[in-house]
Amino acid sequence: MSEAGKKSAPQHPQKSVEEQLAYLRKGAAEIIREEDLKAKLDQSAKTGKPLRVYLGVDPTAPDIHLGHTVVIRKLKHFQDLGHTAIFLIGDFSAMIGDPTGQSETRPPLTREQVDANAKTYLDQVFKILDRGKTEVRYNSEWLGKMSSYDVVRLCGHYRLARMLEREDFRSRLDNNLPISVHELLYPLLTALDAVNLKSDIELGATEQKFNILIHRDIQREYGLSPQVVFTMPILVGLDGVKKMSKSLGNYVGITESPQEMFGKLMSISDDLMWSYYELLTDFEERVIVRLKEEVRTGVLHPMDAKMQLAHTIIANFHGEQAARAARDEFQRVFRNREVPEDVREIHLQAGDYSILQILTKVASRNREAKRKDLSSKEQLNGTKP
């Protein structure tokens, strides 16, 4: 979210517990347990002490796309309500590797890779979270200090049979694929994040549910009140089939130009548009329901609803003026059939291409052209040899 967007972001510390629950439920996949969340919100209201809500992220890649922002936005919602938002960088755990969704053991990252990714990741996260009100922590603070005795003692708090109930592990066992011991340690070590942060609530994507439930169990083993597990859905990518992923090319990066973002968002299907409204905007549920009905009855054209969606998302990251300019450009080129202001020739090999594939290639060429332009300017200015 842009700095301008942050200033106008909703702040609701005065909301009642029921109003907070209604605000937080939007888009949530599962809350374990909702009665526990209500009790914690009640206690917070009575004592005036904000809840400690955290999201742990392993910086395995430098860039954030809209899929990543779904759960980060929910952390922002807790922050808007006056609770303590903790953004945890898994700099230690990233070097182990989260086994979630992995069909094979993946190679660990180096410290240099993790540190570089963490820096750029934080720069992007603060487009959404309020930098001044966010507690940033690194799990190397406690995991990096553990002795072998500490690790063995931690392992004594959990059963192997429970760990092997995990779908990723069970599938590999069934297919005679290897499981490394360090992968079994991953959810136990990250459970110490919840212990050390003394968290009331942990956020994660639905695929992280197994890990977060272990964190809750280990908190109990260490004599703490177990946290509430709050999971968010996986955002489907632009293809409308698979989860948004850079490797699949069906993503929208939050640092892409407003024009690139607008074009990509306009390529999604009319049906997919509504989950984007749900997970990527702060439109209230009743407003989204009304928009859907207006589209269904023909009062609102689907393209107009989609343009409003793209405009809203882009304004959060680039500001209202940039979003308006991207919208005007799209309107001029695709609706009025006029020539774009900045035309670059893209040569493709013969073949059938989807609109998404073409947009991805255009975005890639534009980024390369900008990189070359910047390099040329630096050389002219004498900033590069």
Residue spans of the domains in the chain: they are 3-232, 236-339+351-366
How many CA atoms within 13 Å lie on the side-chain side of 24? 30
- Between helix 302-318 and helix 320-330 the angle, nearest 10°, is 140
Check residue 179 and give its pLDDT. 82
Residues 6 or more apart whose CB falls under 8 angstroms from that of 287 comprise none
Q: Compute the CA torsion angle 277, 279, 281, 287 (nearest 10 deg).
A: 50
Structure pTM? 0.81
Query: Minimum mean pLDDT among 10-14, 83-87, 363-367: which range?
Result: 10-14
Mean pLDDT of 260-285: 96
Q: What angle do CA 122, 98, 80 make, to 5 degrees?
A: 40
For residue 103, pLDDT over 60 is answered with no
Say what the pLDDT of residue 106 is. Answer: 58
Fold (topology level) of 236-339+351-366: Tyrosyl-Transfer RNA Synthetase (1.10.240)
Position 381 scores a pLDDT of 46
Q: Helices then strands (H, E): number in the chain?
A: 17, 6
* Tens-place pLDDT, residues 284-337: 999 999 999 999 999 999 999 999 999 999 999 999 999 999 999 998 887 665
pLDDT at 10: 45
Contact 280, 70 (CB under 8 A): yes
Q: Is the confidence at residue 342, as pLDDT, over 90?
A: no
* pLDDT surpassing 70 at residue 357: no
Q: Are 384 and 378 in contact (CB under 8 A)?
A: yes
Band (pLDDT 50/70/90 cuts) for residue 99 is: low
Measured distance CA(340)–CA(140) in Å, rounded: 49
Range with the poorest average pLDDT among 88-102, 103-117, 166-180: 103-117
**Per-residue model confidence as pLDDT tens digits over 6-15:** 444 444 557 8
What gap in Å lies between CA 295 and CA 302, rounded to an integer? 6
317-321-326 Cα angle (round to 5): 80
Rounded to whole angstroms, the Cα distance separating 338 from 335 reads: 8
pLDDT for 332: 86
Task: Write out pLDDT tens, residues 175-224.
Answer: 888 888 888 888 999 999 999 999 999 999 999 999 999 999 999 999 99
- Residue 229 burial by Cβ neighbours in a 10 Å radius (0-12, 13-18, 19+): buried
What whole-number percentage of the chain has pLDDT above 70? Answer: 81
Report how far residue 182's alpha carbon sits from residue 171's, in angstroms, rounded to the nearest whole number. Answer: 18
pLDDT of residue 89: 94
User: 3-232 — its CATH code?
Assistant: 3.40.50.620
Closest CA to 26 of 84, 64, 69, 73: 73
30-32 and 228-232 beta bridge pairing: antiparallel
What separation in angstroms does the CA of 325 have from each of 34, 93, 289, 329? 42, 41, 28, 6
The H or E element that residue 247 is part of is: none
Read off the pLDDT of residues 20-64 as tens digits, 9 standing for 90 and up. 999 999 999 999 999 999 999 999 999 999 999 999 998 877 789
> Residue 33, preceding bond cis, omega within 30 degrees?
yes
**pLDDT one-digit tens code per residue, 228-269:** 999 999 999 999 999 999 888 999 999 999 999 999 999 999
pLDDT for 376 beyond 50: no
Has residue 137 got a pLDDT over 70?
yes
pLDDT, residue 318, reads: 94
